[in-house]
Amino acid sequence: MPISTILDRAGRRRFAFEFSRRIGGRRVRARKLLPAAWSRSQADAYDRQESARLYAIATGLERQRYTIDQAVARYLDERAVNLKDGHGIATELALISDYYIGRPIETLADVCAQYTHDHRSGERRLAPATIRNRLRYLTSACRWGWKHHKMAEHDPAAAVVMPAVSNERQVYIDRRQMLQLSRACNHWQARAAIRIAFYSGMRIGELRRAEVDGNEFVLHDTKNGEPRRIPIHPKIRCCIGYEWPAYETLRYHFRKACAAVGIHNLKVHDLRHSAASAMLNAGVPLYTVGAVLGHKSNASTRRYAHHSTASLRDAVGRIGKRAA
């Protein structure tokens, strides 16, 4: 029988699906460990559905249909392992595995909608930002399967609707505060990273991967999947060429510098926010700022339009004045 009971690494009894049949003169094999919370009836239902699908594929009656968990497995093995929070991504995806294991990749939008519905209220209520982050990891995994392994004919994440988040961070510093932080940092590599992050708007992971080509930083692999070129600000020319510290090392010295100058609740990633805010306050068009940051839409850039009191005072002061 394809469904068996085994012990997982944690010593828990789990159902496992095992398929091994000779169909059309060739051996077809498949094996999958089912979610710990599944009952016998759920395991049997999966057995019937998956066995029928494998028979159909082997006999040529149906084109192979990939599942979301297959895309997730590829993403974790090939992409997440190279990200600084790869272990955290794997943990977050495991927490929502009951919703997507065994589901065709084409049903991603339905899976995300169901997860959002179940966790917006009631005993299982989660913060909108938590739901959004988990679904973003899931959509990234499915897009990886679509782009790199042809697991779907079209982008499976195109129809996904993300929950609105109203508590996005609004933490920025200006150039004067950035210089205070940099001078207070007693780790010279971290000091250089602070300056470059502020003057380029790059994420820390991007800063580590960036290549220098003349007067530009070149990023061949970015979050939105498109390459990006960022002009090098003259004030950070002297900072280029260093070997960057590990993320934890940078964060440790960054926190110490923040405490030394009395800046609280600031994260390393806020340097990117601050770069965007500084450009917008200097009158740089929204589209141009988005191009520097690597945003695909103005909506992503607009949240950084945090105008200083001085710029607002100047705007109000222009009421009633004639154009020059």
**Could you tell me the residue range of the domain that residue 248 belongs to?**
175-314
- Which domain-ending residue is among 97, 131, 164? 164
Here the CATH number for the domain that contains residue 210 is 1.10.443.10
pLDDT number for residue 169: 62
| Structural domains counted in the chain | 3
Same domain as 305, residue 202: yes
- Domain contains 15: yes
Are 74 and 130 part of one and the same domain? yes
What number of other Cβ atoms are within 10 A of residue 285's Cβ? 12
Query: What is the enclosing helix (H) or strand (E) of 276?
Result: helix 270-281
DSSP result, 159-222: T--PPP----------HHHHHHHHHH---HHHHHHHHHHHHH---HHHHHH-EEETTEEEESS-
Give the end of a domain, one of 143, 164, 185.
164
Same domain, 183 and 150: no
Share of the chain above pLDDT 70, in %: 89
Q: Is residue 321 part of a domain?
A: no
How does pLDDT run across 296-306, given as a tens digit for each residue? 777 667 766 65
> How high is the pLDDT of residue 310?
59
Q: From the CB of residue 319, how many other CB atoms can be counted at a distance below 10 Å?
A: 6
CA distance 16 to 7: 10
pLDDT tens-place string over residues 92-133: 999 999 999 999 999 999 999 999 999 988 888 898 889 999
79-88, 193-202, 250-259: segment of lowest average pLDDT? 79-88
**pLDDT exceeds 70 at position 15:** yes
Higher pLDDT, 315 or 212: 212
Question: Mind listing the pLDDT tens digit for each residue in 161-218?
Answer: 888 776 556 678 999 999 999 999 999 899 999 999 999 999 888 888 889 999 999 9
> Do 34 and 8 share a structural domain?
yes
Judge if 96 and 185 occupy the same domain: no
Domain end call among 164, 190, 221: 164
Residue 219 lies inside a defined structural domain of this protein: yes
**Residue pair 239/192 in contact by the 8 Å Cβ criterion:** yes
Residues 6 or more apart from 121 whose CB is under 8 A from it? none
Q: Is 66 left (phi over 0), alpha (psi -120 to 50) or beta?
A: beta
Task: Give pLDDT, residue 311.
Answer: 61
Residue 305, in any domain of the structure? yes
Report the pLDDT averaged over residues 39-44. Answer: 88
Q: How far apart are CA 36 and CA 292, in angstroms?
A: 45
* Residues 223 and 111 grouped into a single domain: no
CATH number for position 60: 3.30.160
